[in-house]
Amino acid sequence: PYSVSYTIGKDVKQNNLSLMPGIYLDGCIAYGPNGERIIDNYIDEKLLMDIFNFSKEKNILRCVYWYRLENIHTVEMDEYSDEDLNILPIVPNIINEEILKNTKIYKILISVNEQSLSSVLKMYQDKFSDRIYVGKRSKTYVELFHHNANKFEGVKEICKHFDISLNDALAIGDATNDIKMLQGVGTSIAVQNASSIIKKCAKYVGPSNNDDAVYHILRTFCDI
């Protein structure tokens, strides 16, 4: 997946690591050890196009980014999109409505300014919250994805496959999309640079992401 290639792709290649099993796109997708997709929570076509048409009607289609496993899409780019390019992991592909309709989309991100966030969030929640999760990703992003999608669901499926008790599982987190996972496993570690909310959900606090947190945590807890 592009998100992994962007963040740790170099390390994966250098150390000949496998990305399977794995949990991706906030738990919308999870793979078993042989590459089989054990969770596949994509947005169905009818809902996808309802969101598309609603965004078009509200004249914010240019602010919407459509996430598939291999790429990010948008239907148009303008001068405002340049700011988003500094945050998005890769440059989005421009696609049209017909292609979008036939594309497996897992997550939708809407870029707004801080002043508009609450009104845009409420607008999409009022319209779609009974059909899809609508929440705040950050101060300038609204995100939409499958109600049942979260990283902990992926952890549960992978543990089930290997017959591992959740009490024996270890999870490391740094953001709000890690909360359920941190609360659900036996050993949970928040990194030092996580917010206080995330740290309260974990049993331990490890080093910062910038200080090789995963390396130190695996050495400490797993003797790897």
Checking if the pLDDT of 80 tops 60, the result is no
CATH no. of 45-145: 3.30.1240.10
* Bigger pLDDT: 105 vs 223: 105
**pLDDT for 140:** 87
**pLDDT for 12:** 61
**pLDDT for 46:** 98
Nearest-angstrom CA–CA distance, 198 and 15? 30
**pLDDT for 83:** 56
**pLDDT for 79:** 55
90-114 residue pLDDT tens = 678 899 999 999 999 999 999 998 9
- Rounded to the nearest 5°, which phi and psi values hold at 130? -80, -10
**pLDDT for 11:** 64
143-170 residue pLDDT tens = 999 998 999 999 999 999 999 999 999 9
Checking if the pLDDT of 65 tops 70, the result is yes
Nearest-angstrom CA–CA distance, 199 and 197? 6
**pLDDT for 8:** 56
**pLDDT for 196:** 94
Domain residue ranges in the chain = 1-40+148-160, 45-145, 165-223
Q: List Cβ neighbours of 14 (8 Å cut-off, separation of 6 or more).
A: none
Domain spanning 165-223, CATH architecture: 3-Layer(aba) Sandwich (3.40)
7-55 residue pLDDT tens = 555 666 777 767 779 999 989 999 998 889 999 999 999 999 999 999 9
